[in-house]
Amino acid sequence: MKPLLRILLIPIFIFAILNQYQSATPATSPTDYSHYLDQFVDHSVKPGDDFFHFAVGKWIKDNPIPSNESSWGIYNIVQEETYQRLLAISKESSSENAAKGTNTQKIGDFWHSAMDTATIEKSGITPLRPEFDRINAIHDKQSLTDTIAHLQYIGVGAMFSPIIFQDQLDSSKYVLYLYQGGLGLPDRDYYFDSDQRTSNIRQEYVKHVAKMFVLLGDDEATAGRNSKTVMGLETDLAKASRKLEALRDPRANYHPMKVDELSKLTPSVQWKRFLDEGNIHNLKSVVVGQPEFFQQVERSLTKESIENWKTYLRWQLINTFADDVNANFDKENFHFYGTVLNGTPEQRPRWKRMLDSEETYLGYALGQLYVKKYFSPQTKQRYEKLTADIFNAFQDRIKKLDWMSEPTKQEALKKLSSVMKKVGYPEKWRDYSNYEVDKSAFVNNCIRGNKWKSDFYIQRLYKPVDRTEWGMTPQTYNAYYNPGNNEIVLPAAAFILPGIPDQYVDDALVYSYAGGATIGHEITHGFDDQGRQYDEKGNLKEWWTKQDEEEFKKRAKEIIQQFNGYAVLENLHVNGDATQGENIADLGGMLLGWDAFTKTEEYKSGKEIGGFTPAQRYFIGWALDWMENIRPESLAVRVKSDVHSPSFLRVNGPISNLPQFYQAFDVKPGDKMYRSPETRVEIW
Ligand SMILES: [Zn+2]
């Protein structure tokens, strides 16, 4: 798998990196934590000039990126601890000789096969041989599209992306979306942007694809030609692919169609048969995301020879499993996706990468053991209380908005009160009984794992939506809002703050870094440029008056312009359109956390801790959430393919709009971050 590739799917709004919650009143501690923030703050930077580097600049200077990481920050500190926990679980499971079919056996054998490099080396790509044979046997369009369907079923991202998710017009059922896809670079723009950085990546990509063909046994000349074929075919698909920001509009990416009608877009594909080959039977209708992409698929099916398609599929197959087979493929794969694309000199240790794989294939089995050991009912309760505080804060803000009319407010409050709150871990665990895991070559477990996942999603098509499902494992340091369920989901590991036991963290950090602002961020996603288009049941439905919609868009436009103005690297600006939802959520989340914080005794007392006022600690806490060093190459990938702004701008961007920040740090005209009051954006 390639963790670097991200497809923007049906809108699930992921916070990306978030944190923890602790008790409202810090207990008296045997250790003095009052100077906890000293390890982060750089007093040589003026807060009003560059708050991010003031708040966490010392840590940034003291903690350079290890040579085997593309970035290094708060996420990694927390993740290091999670890795240790998961490593212990995996090793224990491996030594237990548990009964066949139990989760413990699966985790244990998965871990064994992942670390058994002798077997991996010995078997090379032999386990993939049946798949390559199948590709080699393609002789006409029928066998070509049959094979593509099969490859998609085993997890290969060939030609386009089939995704099973809630129907956006009727969230009570699942539907199959056919989305643009089939590319080897992180975003369609990589195929066209003419700046030096991107042109270089394109050239290196062609070299990389050629090297992979050599490793598959092609001679140099053939490999070179094959690589150009892949690039040409992918470039055509990319040309017809929508830009990141164009994928944000849920209605524009929703085109319901009977399966019989699909042949109008792509006459070369017999769709009923295609779905059957992918193990999807008796389906009457689908939703096409981007019809013009499927018209391009038809053009490519007609234009490209069968041989060219076979070449493309061989590439897609090896690209999918490159890091699951022997070292030659793994190293070359890392060379391109790690070093060239993200600037990382060395590969991370195998055990960490294999824990990431285990997370992909058995994440909920691990999670079940994880929460038993590391997540207490008390923490869950405290977190639920904090969530309630933030909801109340948002309710108050909506009631007071001067730009929203009464009818829209009533609907907004109705939607807010129906948001489902999932905290910690799922009530029901995923059942892996049909996933066979053994100690044979590792890639076998990966292929079977992908099949299991495909079947897991396919069976949803025949049942009503189970709203208790989770889309993130409890050990994930992250959170999300899903408009289809109108829910926020806050995994157990999202509550970890490094270096202080829960009960000693003061409220300023609890309401910013450790949960408050994060919960606020997620809740406001239900009302941002995408989320506001869904009603309280999770269906796409207009519930705003025209006037209110215009008022919202006017404010969103201000945020877009503000972030378009941020230069990140040479020739690279933030994409204000693509990141607007996240920026609106950061701005709103900070305010909701703030509102709830101002009700606490700590805030009211105004008493300094470690030399900072409560308000100052609140803002430093927010910066801590985004503390990271990142390589410029990796930063460029994020700007081009991620809907979140770069970390330092998730701090400096939103707070430059907040009068509370100006007051807390006495920010004045002339300071670099200063914005005059009339240019500050206010939404919630
Ligand atoms: Zn978000």
pLDDT of residue 27: 56
How many whole angstroms separate alpha carbon 340 and alpha carbon 452? 33
What is the Å distance from ligand 1's center to 522 Cα?
6
pLDDT of residue 16: 44
What is the Å distance from ligand 1's center to 518 Cα?
9
How many whole angstroms separate alpha carbon 445 and alpha carbon 471? 21
Rg of the chain (C-alpha set): 25
Residue 420, strand partner residues:
487
Residues contacting residue 36 through CB under 8 Å, at least 6 positions apart: 499, 500, 610
- Taking each helix axis from N to C end, the angle separating 516-525 and 377-400, rounded to the nearest 10 degrees, works out to 60
DSSP for 49-116 reads: T-HHHHHHHHHHHH-PPPTT-SEEEHHHHHHHHHHHHHHHHHHHHHHS-PPTTSHHHHHHHHHHHHH-
DSSP for 101-160 reads: TSHHHHHHHHHHHHH-HHHHHHHTTGGGHHHHHHHHT--SHHHHHHHHHHHHHTT---SE
**Measured in Å, how far apart are the chain's first and last C-alpha atoms?**
40
Do the strands 160-166 and 71-73 form a parallel or antiparallel pair, or are they unpaired? unpaired
The residue whose two tokens read 């200063």 is 674
What is the Å distance from ligand 1's center to 323 Cα?
30
pLDDT of residue 502: 76
Cβ < 5 A residues, ion ligand 1: 13, 15, 582, 585
What is the Å distance from ligand 1's center to 585 Cα?
6
Q: Which residues of the chain, if any, have pLDDT below 70?
A: 1-30
What is the Å distance from ligand 1's center to 281 Cα?
35
How many whole angstroms separate alpha carbon 348 and alpha carbon 364? 24
The residue whose two tokens read 């969230």 is 171
What is the Å distance from ligand 1's center to 525 Cα?
7
Local structure of 28: helix, strand or coil: coil
What is the Å distance from ligand 1's center to 492 Cα?
18
What is the Å distance from ligand 1's center to 488 Cα?
11
Alpha helices in 219-290 (DSSP H): 220-239, 271-277
What is the Å distance from ligand 1's center to 521 Cα?
6
pLDDT of residue 12: 52
pLDDT of residue 17: 35
Residue 163, strand partner residues:
177
How many whole angstroms separate alpha carbon 572 and alpha carbon 198? 11
pLDDT of residue 514: 74
pLDDT of residue 494: 83
Do the strands 628-630 and 71-73 form a parallel or antiparallel pair, or are they unpaired? antiparallel
What is the Å distance from ligand 1's center to 15 Cα?
4
What is the Å distance from ligand 1's center to 498 Cα?
22
What is the Å distance from ligand 1's center to 627 Cα?
17
Residue 375, strand partner residues:
none
Residue 381: CB atoms within 10 Å: 12
What is the Å distance from ligand 1's center to 370 Cα?
25
pLDDT of residue 23: 40
What is the Å distance from ligand 1's center to 186 Cα?
20
How many whole angstroms separate alpha carbon 117 and alpha carbon 111? 11
Closest to 673 (Cα-Cα) out of 654, 652, 658: 652
Task: Give the distance from CA 108 to its chain's centroid.
Answer: 27
What is the Å distance from ligand 1's center to 524 Cα?
9
